[in-house]
């Protein structure tokens, strides 16, 4: 089950009040929105945006959808289009906006789209079936230099060139079609001390000298490239600032340094321009208790700000 992270902290910084309107740009399973709903009843509205149509379909069969009732407007779209969505739905004023940039547990465990290197699935990695670019196309068709660039830029992978070279050599022999195909290639590009101490197919793997799986950064980089995640985040933040009512609050939960850097720089720039007051002097992280209960919260960082101008 997907457990929302930093719920108490999100509510503290967004400070929802009765009858206010909020936008959840990454609705997912609705965990954060459900808690916000409790505080904005009876007449407050939530505009929920979810890019993955399958997640929305699943929610439609869930009792949770009934709990929201008419207080929820649920849209299948990308938050990069936030400005158009809000105008189309005439959703004004927005008293608070939330971005939870973490992947849904359903995407990893159930979608079958190749988000995890621990499952043998097709190389897809699209959040929306309407997208044309897939992970398989990137891996099998992009030139070596471009592969190395995204592995380094989006994954901060130090062995980006060696991995890209190994991929190109391998795909000349046969197409790379599955996550396991790609994971094996990545491992072969690593020095022996960084390879796994146990096989991929036999259950949980063990690392000897490295704290993370050798494929982690490459899979992150490909997913970001497939879904254009960093550009979408920049567009979404800019639109959110325009949409927020004066005094409205924005909260963003990021899970890796690239996202957090974009949020940090955006808040800083808008502070200097007099448009935002930063509410979190440093990113808020999960407590030891939450990490114990929900390990995925370990890498979560929350930043929040309040709009000062029209």
Which contiguous run of DSSP H or E holds residue 248? strand 244-254
Alpha-carbon distances of 135 from 37, 183, 215, rounded to whole Å: 37, 13, 14
Domains of the chain, start order: 7-106+229-307 (3.40.50.150), 112-227 (1.10.150.170)
Residue showing tokens 């609050």: 249
pLDDT digits (tens, 9 = 90+) for 208-228: 344 688 899 999 999 999 999
**Dist. CA 274–CA 267, nearest whole Å:** 10
Task: With a cut of 80, say whether residue 310 has pLDDT above it.
Answer: no
Tokens representing residue 229 in the block: 């995640």
pLDDT score for 211: 63
Q: What is the pTM assigned to this prediction?
A: 0.92
pLDDT digits (tens, 9 = 90+) for 46-82: 999 999 998 888 876 666 667 788 999 999 999 999 9
């Amino acid at each position: 089950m997907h457990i929302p992270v930093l719920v108490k902290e999100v509510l503290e910084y967004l400070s929802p009040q009765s009858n206010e309107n909020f936008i959840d740009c990454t609705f997912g399973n609705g965990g954060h929105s459900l808690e916000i709903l409790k505080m904005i009843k009876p007449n407050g509205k939530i505009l929920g945006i979810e890019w993955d149509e399958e997640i929305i379909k699943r929610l439609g069969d869930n009792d949770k959808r009934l709990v929201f009732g008419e207080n929820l407007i649920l849209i299948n779209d990308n938050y990069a289009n936030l400005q158009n969505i809000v105008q189309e739905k005439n959703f004004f004023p927005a008293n608070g906006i939330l971005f939870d940039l973490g992947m849904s547990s359903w995407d990893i465990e159930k979608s079958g789209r190749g988000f995890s290197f621990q499952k043998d699935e097709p190389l897809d990695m699209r959040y929306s079936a309407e997208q044309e670019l897939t992970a398989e196309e990137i891996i099998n068709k992009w030139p070596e230099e471009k592969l190395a660039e995204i592995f380094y830029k989006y994954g901060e992978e130090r062995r980006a060139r060696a991995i890209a070279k190994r991929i190109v050599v391998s795909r000349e022999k046969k197409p790379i079609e599955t996550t396991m195909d790609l994971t094996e290639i990545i491992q072969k590009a690593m020095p022996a001390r960084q390879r796994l101490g146990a096989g991929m197919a036999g259950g949980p793997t063990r690392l000897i000298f490295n704290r993370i799986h050798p494929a982690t950064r490459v899979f992150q980089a490909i997913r970001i490239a497939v879904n254009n995640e960093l550009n979408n985040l920049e567009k979404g933040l800019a639109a959110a600032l325009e949409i927020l009512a004066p005094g409205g609050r924005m909260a963003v939960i990021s899970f890796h340094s690239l996202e957090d850097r974009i949020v940090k720089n955006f808040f800083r720039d808008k502070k200097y321009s007099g448009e935002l007051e930063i509410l979190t002097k440093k990113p808020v992280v999960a407590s030891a208790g939450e990490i114990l209960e929900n390990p995925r919260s370990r890498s979560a960082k929350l930043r929040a700000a309040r709009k000062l101008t029209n």
